[in-house]
Amino acid sequence: SAVISQKPSRDICQRGTSLTIQCQVDSQVTMMFWYRQQPGQSLTLIATANQGSEATYESGFVIDKFPISRPNLTFSTLTVSNMSPEDSSIYLCSVTDRGNYEQYFGPGTRLTVT
Amino acid sequence: KQEVTQIPAALSVPEGENLVLNCSFTDSAIYNLQWFRQDPGKGLTSLLLIQSSQREQTSGRLNASLDKSSGRSTLYIAASQPGDSATYLCAPSGNTPLVFGKGTRLSVIA
């Protein structure tokens, strides 16, 4: 299994500012995923982050709003740019075990935009 | 596009009851299916992973079954406890990453 940590665990931000969320994994993984969970909703995939290439974004999510970095096989960041109250969500980082494709999640970052 | 439905949306039971949570999905071309637990405001904890070639998996009081051809999975919780109170999510995985249902919010009353 993989152990995933995220920073910050929560933050309250002003409208129009940006926040960078960090995700650290205790082992090397090929693919990392970023999800968003809006209040009362299920998880929605934002993008898949592969080391050494640009992230692949899902429909409805764009790089200018959610830039992602993946500098190595154990670390990734997601930036939420020019925030609005609609961005208030839990943001979760996830990785897949290469052996059995089991997916593991970090503890999440709870973002509130005022 | 994979769509996942979980029934019921919410469930409240007295402690000690056995219960079944249902999950259905539209695209049966999956590699596996995972069941997760999510406590309020927290991340997801993986409970069980069923490979597409398997029909069920067990972990303690939890048993998950998979009928890939009919697009259904069930999570059986035996002898429920107040600590089981959480939202339970199922997520099949195919050529794309996990797709989630909206979950079943379970409340076990002591």
pLDDT in tens, B49-91: 999 889 999 999 999 999 999 999 999 999 999 999 999 999 9
Distance from C-alpha of B48 to C-alpha of B33, rounded to nearest angstrom: 8
Give the per-residue pLDDT at B96. Answer: 67
Residues 6+ apart with CB under 8 A from B35: B23, B46, B47, B48, B62, B64, B73, B75, B88, B89, B90, B91
Amino acid code (one letter) for A48: T
Confidence of residue B95 (pLDDT cuts 50, 70, 90): low
pLDDT in tens, A15-69: 999 999 999 999 998 889 999 999 888 899 999 998 888 899 999 999 999 999 9
- Identify all chain A residues contacting B98, using CB atoms and an 8 Å cutoff: 43, 45, 94, 103
3-class secondary structure, A25: strand
Asked if the model's pLDDT at residue A102 lies above 90, the reply is no
CA distance to partner chain B, nearest, from residue A40 (Å): 9
- Identify all chain B residues contacting A42, using CB atoms and an 8 Å cutoff: 89, 100-103
Distance from C-alpha of B59 to C-alpha of B38, rounded to nearest angstrom: 17
